[in-house]
Amino acid sequence: MEAALAAHAVTISRSGQTVLKDVSFEVATGDVYALLGGNGAGKSTTLLTFLGFLSPDGGTVEVLGLDVGEHLKDIRPRIAYLPEAATLYAHLNAYENLNYFLSLVNVKADERALDSALDRVSLKPGARRNRLDTYSKGMRQKVAIALALLRDTPVLLLDEPTSGLDPVAIDEFNALVRSLAAEQRTVLMVTHDVYGACQVADRIGLLREGELVGTFDRPEGGQIDTEQVHAAFAGRATS
């Protein structure tokens, strides 16, 4: 089966510094791949490369079998991107934000569809008509996640998606991601949260100083071993 996402020996330098060095991995359709690493490891740079905002100095990236450098216009409508700090309008409510941003990509959704997406991210009905300047960071993040769901794309790229969420909301988000994988959507998420990555991912790639230094696979019927990944993350072991 052709990979939904693929990086082939990707190398990127910025301001004379190597940010990614010979990074290669693939994500199968319907899988969740977590790119794990500390600050400056190259996680967000990898996402920006799949989005076409950065071009590799060496190697290639592919989305749904298409080279990003050659077919970006065809790829963009088929991916949804959730940045760590989504830019939403504080003077609008959840429905108004969703409708506005969907209109920018020519997607129409009635209130029933909006409510369905907001239900999936567990945003309380009583808050949905309140302005976002009354929301917590976690609540704003839920609106942004709902927007990504409403795009209804086969691929989701998530940059620190649980940032600002409380533990209960994180568990809800991880359950949501697993449900998306069950619908054969492909998820690439970058995170520094070892526990969350182990809970949700089919495979984890460990980035350190721009190099992929370890990979960990979910065993059938279980989840990736947190202690093993944490040891590798801390530099006590590699796998």
| Of the candidates 155, 157, 97, 152, the residue with the CA atom closest to the CA atom of residue 123 | 97
- 184-234 confidence digits (pLDDT tens): 999 999 998 899 899 999 999 999 999 999 999 999 888 999 999 999 998
Asked, for residue 140, whether it belongs to a domain, the answer is no
Give the phi and the psi of residue 47 in degrees, each rounded to 5.
-60, -45
Query: Which pTM was predicted?
Result: 0.89
Torsion on CA atoms 143, 128, 87, 23, rounded to nearest 10: 0
Highest mean pLDDT among 12-21, 23-32, 40-49: 23-32
Q: What is the pLDDT of residues 117-153, one digit of tens each?
A: 999 888 999 999 999 999 988 888 889 889 988 988 9
Lowest mean pLDDT among 26-30, 62-66, 145-149: 145-149
Q: Among 27-31, 96-100, 192-196, where is mean pLDDT lowest?
A: 192-196
Q: State percent of the chain over pLDDT 70.
A: 98
Judge whether 10 lies within some domain: yes
Residue 34, domain CATH: 3.40.50.300
> Is pLDDT at 1 greater than 70 in this prediction?
no
Domain count, the chain: 1
Q: Is residue 180 part of a domain?
A: yes
Query: Looking at residue 236, what is its pLDDT?
Result: 65
Which value, to the nearest 10 degrees, does the dihedral of the CA atoms of residues 170, 223, 186, 8 take? 120
CA distances 160 to 39, 86, 125, Å, are: 11, 11, 25
**For residue 237, pLDDT beyond 50:** no
Q: Quick check: is 32 in a domain?
A: yes
Assess if residue 126 is contained within a domain: no
Q: Would you state the pLDDT for residue 34?
A: 96
Question: 173 in a domain, yes or no?
Answer: yes
Dihedral sign (CA 156, 229, 46, 40): positive
The answer to whether residue 169 is domain-embedded is yes
Residue 194 lies in a domain: yes
Q: What domain range includes position 48? A: 5-87+156-233
